[in-house]
Amino acid sequence: MIFESHAHYDDEKFNEDREELLSSMKENGIEYIINVGASLETTRNTVELIKKYPFIYGAAGVHPSDTAELNEENFAWLKEQCNHAKIVAVGEIGLDYYWDEPDREIQKKWFRRQLEMAKETNLPIIIHSREAAKDTLDIMKEMECSKMSGVVHCFSYSKEIAREILDMGFYLGIGGVVTFQNAKAIKEVVAYAPLEKILLETDCPYLAPTPHRGKRNSSLYLPLIAEEIAKIKEIEYDEVIRVTNKNAKKLFCIE
Ligand code: NI
């Protein structure tokens, strides 16, 4: 069965049919889902979801674009959430230079602090990095991420950057972008990376794969991503599903 390693089912785009959609996951071959926090509020929502659905696990963290909301007091609250038995990762955390706000120094500060939090709570990390490859790698090295474990989600960089990430023992999260016709660099990364280091993800409700591009995404579209990976690597679809499932269970210590 399929392991969905990155979703945001607390997003308001699921308000109309969340219950129905999530109830249909098992029958559609989705075994587990990691719901990822991206702010204090969405981390709170994630804790609610993992209490309600046995097959949903969570990640607690604040996305770089939301780090301006952090202070010592609410950071202590965030860290407490990591003690929940079904919070299996810290994330998504990292750097996003696509937007000018918040200031890069603020993003870096809280990236480091949340990496420390992962170290102290012994949890793997889910990294978000957009147009910030060099600074992300520099901080990962400085913080000795090679001694930790994690995934760079929605991987969007070159093969050369992928090699550095893989050398640190991290996984690459591959989502809908790999199905886009013009996504040449990501297709190259998928061809290059060992299947044992790839996780399947949607980042839903965002980044729906072809032919649903631009529409609301959901874990039900993961087979389209797995098919594309199978095609690129010239292997069986079932092998992609089986190995990526095993990878995610190993990383998040599930089962
Ligand atoms: Ni995300």
Q: Which own/partner pairs from 223-230 qualify as long-range (CB within 8 Å, at least 24 positions apart)? A: 223/2, 223/29, 224/176, 224/179, 225/174, 225/175, 225/176, 225/178, 225/179, 225/200, 225/201, 226/2, 226/200, 228/178, 228/179, 228/190, 229/174, 229/178, 229/190, 229/195, 229/198, 229/200
* In the chain, % of residues over pLDDT 90: 99
Provide the edge-to-edge strand list for the sheet that holds 56-60: 2-7, 30-36, 56-60, 87-96, 125-130, 150-152, 171-174, 198-200
Q: What is the pTM of this model?
A: 0.97
pLDDT number for residue 164: 98
**Exposure class string for 22-38: b at 16+ Cβ within 10 A, else e:** beebeeeebbbbbbbbb
Instruction: Summarize the confidence of residues 39-63 as an average pLDDT.
Output: 98
Measured in angstroms, how far is the CA atom of residue 8 from the centroid of ligand 1? Answer: 7
Give the CATH number of the domain where residue 75 resides: 3.20.20.140
Measured in angstroms, how far is the CA atom of residue 116 from the centroid of ligand 1? Answer: 20
Measured in angstroms, how far is the CA atom of residue 35 from the centroid of ligand 1? Answer: 9
pLDDT tens sequence across 66-109: 999 999 999 999 999 999 999 999 999 999 999 989 999 999 99
Measured in angstroms, how far is the CA atom of residue 7 from the centroid of ligand 1? Answer: 6
pLDDT tens sequence across 117-170: 999 999 999 999 999 999 999 999 999 999 999 999 999 999 999 999 999 999
pLDDT number for residue 155: 96
Q: How many independent structural domains does the chain possess?
A: 1
Instruction: Summarize the confidence of residues 15-42 as an average pLDDT.
Output: 98
* CA–CA distance, 231 with 235 (Å, rounded to integer): 7
Measured in angstroms, how far is the CA atom of residue 61 from the centroid of ligand 1? Answer: 11
pLDDT at 255 over 90: no
Measured in angstroms, how far is the CA atom of residue 92 from the centroid of ligand 1? Answer: 7
pLDDT at 32 over 90: yes
Measured in angstroms, how far is the CA atom of residue 159 from the centroid of ligand 1? Answer: 22
pLDDT number for residue 91: 97
Tell me which residue of 59, 3, 8, 11 sits closest to 33, measured CA to CA: 3
**Host domain of residue 69:** 2-252
Average pLDDT, the chain: 97
Instruction: Summarize the confidence of residues 217-246 as an average pLDDT.
Output: 98
Measured in angstroms, how far is the CA atom of residue 28 from the centroid of ligand 1? Answer: 22
Measured in angstroms, how far is the CA atom of residue 6 from the centroid of ligand 1? Answer: 6
**Which residue has 């290059």 as its token pair?**
192
pLDDT number for residue 21: 98
pLDDT tens sequence across 208-225: 999 999 999 999 999 999
CA angle in degrees (0–180, nearest 5) for 56-7-42: 85
Measured in angstroms, how far is the CA atom of residue 180 from the centroid of ligand 1? Answer: 18
Measured in angstroms, how far is the CA atom of residue 223 from the centroid of ligand 1? Answer: 19
Residue 49 near residue 9 (C-beta atoms within 8 A): yes
* CA–CA distance, 255 with 249 (Å, rounded to integer): 7
